[in-house]
Amino acid sequence: MALFSVFQTTFLLALLSLRTHQSEVLSEPLPWAPESLKVSINSTHQCLHLQWSVHNLAYHQELKMVFQIEISRIKTSNVIWVENYSTTVKGNQVLHWSWESKLPLECAKHFIRMRSAVDDATTPEQRFWSNWSSWEEVDVQNSLGHEPLFVFPKDKLVEEGSNVTICYVSRSQQNNISCYLEGVRMQGQQLDPNVSMFNLYDVAFIRETGTNIYCKVDRGDDIKGIVLFVSKILEEPKDFSCETRDFQTLSCTWDPGRDTGLLKQLPQSYTLFESFSGKKILCKHKSWCNWQVAPESQEMYNFTLTAENYLRKRSVHILFNLAHRVHPMAPFNVLFNDVSVTNATITWKVHSTGNYYTLLCQVELYGEGKVIQKHNVSVKVNGELVLSGLQPDTEYSAQVRCANANHFWKWSEWTRQNFTTVEAAPSEAPDIWRNVKSVQGYCVVTLFWKPLTRLQANGEILFYNIVVKDLDRPSGLQLLSVPAPANRTELTLDQRSYQIHVTANNSVGTSPASVLVVSGDPGDEVEEERVKGTEGGFSLSWKPQLGNITGYVVEWCDRPRDPPCDLQWKHLGPNTTSTVISSDAFRPGVRYNFRIYGISTEMVPHLLEKKTGYSQELAPSDNPRVVMSNLTSHSFTLSWKDYSTESQPSFIRGYHVYLKSKAGQCHPGSEKAVLSDDSVCCKYKIDDPKQKTFVVGNLQPESFYEFLVTPYSAVGEGPHGAFTKVTTPDEYSPMLIRIILPMIFCILLIMILCYLKSQWMKEKCYPDIPDPYKSSVLSLIKSKENPRLTIMNIKDCVPDTIEVVNKHEGTGKSPTEPEAAKPTYLYLLPAEESYSGPGPCICFENFTYNQAASDSASCGHVPVPTKAPSQLGLLTSSENLLTALEKNCMNSLEEIPAGESSLNYVSQVASPMSGEKSSLPTNPPQPELCSEYKMQMAIPLGLAAPSSSGSSSLSSITLLDEGEHYH
């Protein structure tokens, strides 16, 4: 047991001795341990910079070593970073190492230590770590100052997507501090009572002026903040290339990509480095740079373009042979020589690129805006090319560009020039046609021609020559020149046949002639056929003609409704028997008429067929104007004679007659129809478009009807417009009219006959003024042959008194005039000498012979024997009478018809009226002769009428012999 104890004690002592030796060895600094470790900080970059040297390293000695560096935060035991830094160390060398902290250095204390080991093959025995250096403490907070609040890092610059840690340092633990990112409060992590940190992940670009972060004391107005500048990531330059145009300068271009967003805070630079020459230039522009080509004829170039800013560097490389990057300049002096009708020579020059290079030049010829020719030409200095196959009088454009023929890189820019070829005579005859009308025995020929196309005209057409040759009289020629751009002319010819030649002329020459024969013979009329058109046009076909036919012509009008119908025609070959006529002018609902002519070898057109049709039929747009007639109680007749079916928008197939009635019953021949307004009526169908009358029968008397006539075609019927109203008469009215009218006529005829008969009877039997000479009594007397009985002649009477009766009209009386007319007696003294009548006289007293003829302004006269003029002369002694005579007696006795005389016959023996006796003269003349009779005489009422100026109603006039005067 004791032996065991001794052995154990000895072992422990030996072990202790070994441990002691070992500790002594370790405590000794190794020959190459780090020493003089110094730590400095860079707050802006949040970096710790370490510098140290290696102990006992000889001046000339080089040793590959590894340095292990430990960094702790807040306390030494909190190691946050361990890194082995390997380097080759020379004698007395001061070594450096930097470390960037994620957390701002101001936010926490940092501790750094390191140890070293030799990592060199020459000294394998030293391959173990040295002792750790002592901890170096870095505490920036002590140097911050005395402000109550700090925020770190200051104005940091980061790229988009980075993670950033910020912190605040407060001097007072009692302060409650809040921090905000762009006004939004952040949640932080407290590092120690005075320090909190905030982690921002994947930061984004917000604006050029940065992202605002600030902290503030809740109970105070102190605010501290920083601005975090977030940059967009610098992109690698794209499309980097270099080329030369003159072998003196290389122009390098690239696309810099998107902007980083921070122009001032994060400027970026572009540098161009050429590795063969070792030259480097800083580019002034962000997308291009010029490099001077080395005069020593450097062929190969290896460029490195580097884009760089504070945060990132990007590079691209290109390697090329200068001869392969030639971009020639645009050709110049492009000219056209020897321009003819169909050819032209183009010449150009290129900029010199040295005599060692051949250029490939491309020539493009444009006509009417399209490339019509393309040529490639090899060129050293001057280029030349003949352009052929051109059209006369045509403007062309040619352009030239060139490129390196051996190593194509880029085409130069185009150089363009225009030219126009020379004119030539028209190559084609004009396409002609005619329209013939017969007017008063003459043929009026309208000659049409189509303008030549540009390719046919070969220049500007100046005029058209027309030669009209009389085929019956070969010597009869008519020449006509029509200036362009006319496309028609009118000729008046007689009924003979004429051959017409038309040529087009430009400044160079004349076209071939078009020939057509016009004949006065209108030819046979052919029947018109209907043809169905489509949107694509009218498909026409005709029977082939036997015999000598040189071709066909289809003729139509584009605007058949307009007076100049725009005649169109189409020439077709002799073997063609169908064609499609299409035109942009064709409109739906318009009827087009086509005439197909065959052209004989003598160029005489013969009408073969006529077609008519619509490109699209439309429903009739209007209804006929209907005239109603023969209205009876059971029927009426409708007619629409003036309705033209030719001018309708479709082929009229017939008519529908709609009849509305209250009864609503439809008779045989009609059918019920429901109109668009849901009204029911009867519909009569007329299938013949030429039938334009219709009798509506089976009507009820005294009934109200409405009717409408509308056409229909294959596509529909006309509009259902306003109905015409009609009411049938009653059944008996016509019969009554047929009976009553003749009866009335007969009665009237009888009445007239009776009247005429009564007049005749009156005239014969009891006239108002009996005429003794005309009296039938006279014939009776004569028949009894009693010669003693005769009719008294007025000449046999000797007048003694004239009674002048003043008759006053009821109206126009003067108030001073007496109420009643009073006769005035003119006592005529008998004069033996002047009395020439027979001795005895028979006087008739006829009281009816006092006509009121004075109503009329007729004139009377006094029928006195032979001396009447002298007696009138007596009368004229009275002024009143004279005036009356002058006014009234304008006619002589012979001039006054017997019926117009107004005479008062007064019986010579009649006693005056009782009322007038006192007014009579006291000594009235006593008649000596014919005392038993009273002489009748007539006196014009004009003479008896009182003077308008006279106031006396009673006067006495005595007719005296000559020489005696009126008293």
- The site for other proteins (CB under 8 A) is made up of 154-155, 180, 182-183, 206-214, 221-227, 229, 263-265
Q: Which is nearer to other proteins, 38 or 154 (CB)?
A: 154
Say if residues 134 and 126 touch (Cβ distance below 8 Å).
no
Picking from 37, 170, 45, 179, the residue whose alpha carbon sits closest to that of residue 114 is 37
Q: Which is nearer to other proteins, 149 or 896 (CB)?
A: 149
To 5 degrees, how large is the angle CA 672–CA 678–CA 679? 55
Closest approach of other proteins to the CB of residue 216, in Å: 9
Q: Which is nearer to other proteins, 152 or 240 (CB)?
A: 152
Q: Phi first, then psi: give them for residue 96, nearest 5 degrees.
A: -130, 150
- Rounded to the nearest 10 degrees, the angle between the axes of helix 868-875 and helix 879-888 is 120
Q: Which is nearer to other proteins, 34 or 104 (CB)?
A: 104
Q: Which is nearer to other proteins, 215 or 884 (CB)?
A: 215
Q: Which is nearer to other proteins, 112 or 215 (CB)?
A: 215
Give the 3-state secondary structure of residue 18. Answer: helix
Picking from 207, 159, 157, 203, the residue whose alpha carbon sits closest to that of residue 314 is 159
Q: Which is nearer to other proteins, 184 or 722 (CB)?
A: 184
Q: Is 156 left (phi over 0), alpha (psi -120 to 50) or beta?
A: beta
Q: Which is nearer to other proteins, 221 or 642 (CB)?
A: 221
Q: Which is nearer to other proteins, 221 or 525 (CB)?
A: 221
Closest approach of other proteins to the CB of residue 255, in Å: 21
Closest approach of other proteins to the CB of residue 179, in Å: 12
Closest approach of other proteins to the CB of residue 182, in Å: 4
Say if residues 364 and 399 touch (Cβ distance below 8 Å).
yes
Q: Which is nearer to other proteins, 154 or 258 (CB)?
A: 154
Closest approach of other proteins to the CB of residue 185, in Å: 11
Q: Rounded to the nearest 10 degrees, how much is the dihedral formed by the CA atoms of 820, 904, 847, 828?
A: 100
Return the bridge partners of 346, or none. 336, 385
Q: Which is nearer to other proteins, 214 or 694 (CB)?
A: 214
HSE, side-chain direction, 13 A CA sphere, residue 701: 8
Return the bridge partners of 117, or none. 66
Say if residues 860 and 942 touch (Cβ distance below 8 Å).
yes
Picking from 231, 112, 215, 97, the residue whose alpha carbon sits closest to that of residue 164 is 231
Q: Which is nearer to other proteins, 215 or 403 (CB)?
A: 215
Cα 324 to Cα 309: distance, rounded to the nearest angstrom: 33
Closest approach of other proteins to the CB of residue 203, in Å: 14
Cα 290 to Cα 286: distance, rounded to the nearest angstrom: 12
Strand order of the β-sheet with 211-217 is 157-159, 223-231, 211-217, 177-181, 184-185
Cα 353 to Cα 311: distance, rounded to the nearest angstrom: 43
Strand order of the β-sheet with 823-828 is 801-805, 823-828, 957-959
One-letter amino acid at 45 equals H
Closest approach of other proteins to the CB of residue 220, in Å: 9
The token duo for 483 is 């200036």
Q: Which is nearer to other proteins, 188 or 927 (CB)?
A: 188
Closest approach of other proteins to the CB of residue 190, in Å: 23
Cα 674 to Cα 630: distance, rounded to the nearest angstrom: 28
Closest approach of other proteins to the CB of residue 180, in Å: 6
Strand order of the β-sheet with 578-581 is 567-572, 549-557, 591-600, 605-614, 528-534, 537-541, 578-581
858-888 burial code (b ≥16 CB/10 A, e <16): bbbbbbbbebeebbbebbeebeebeebbeeb
Closest approach of other proteins to the CB of residue 168, in Å: 13
Closest approach of other proteins to the CB of residue 259, in Å: 11
Q: Which is nearer to other proteins, 206 or 293 (CB)?
A: 206
* Number of neighbouring beta carbons within 10 Å of residue 249: 14
Closest approach of other proteins to the CB of residue 371, in Å: 46
Structure-token match 């006269």, residue found? 861
Q: Rounded to the nearest 10 degrees, how much is the dihedral formed by the CA atoms of 649, 652, 654, 660?
A: 0
Closest approach of other proteins to the CB of residue 155, in Å: 5
Closest approach of other proteins to the CB of residue 223, in Å: 5
Helix, strand, coil percent values for the chain (each to nearest 5): 10, 40, 50
Closest approach of other proteins to the CB of residue 397, in Å: 46
- What is the DSSP annotation of 279-342? EEEEESSSSEEEEEPPTTT--EEEEEEEEE-SS-EEEEEEEEEGGGSB-PPPPEEEEEES--SS
Closest approach of other proteins to the CB of residue 151, in Å: 8
13 Cβ contact list (under 8 Å, min separation 6): none
Say if residues 327 and 359 touch (Cβ distance below 8 Å).
no
Closest approach of other proteins to the CB of residue 212, in Å: 6
Q: Which is nearer to other proteins, 210 or 392 (CB)?
A: 210
Q: Which is nearer to other proteins, 156 or 325 (CB)?
A: 156
State yes or no: cis peptide before 153, omega within 30 of 0. Answer: yes
Q: Which is nearer to other proteins, 214 or 933 (CB)?
A: 214
* Number of neighbouring beta carbons within 10 Å of residue 765: 9
Q: Which is nearer to other proteins, 182 or 879 (CB)?
A: 182
One-letter amino acid at 334 equals V
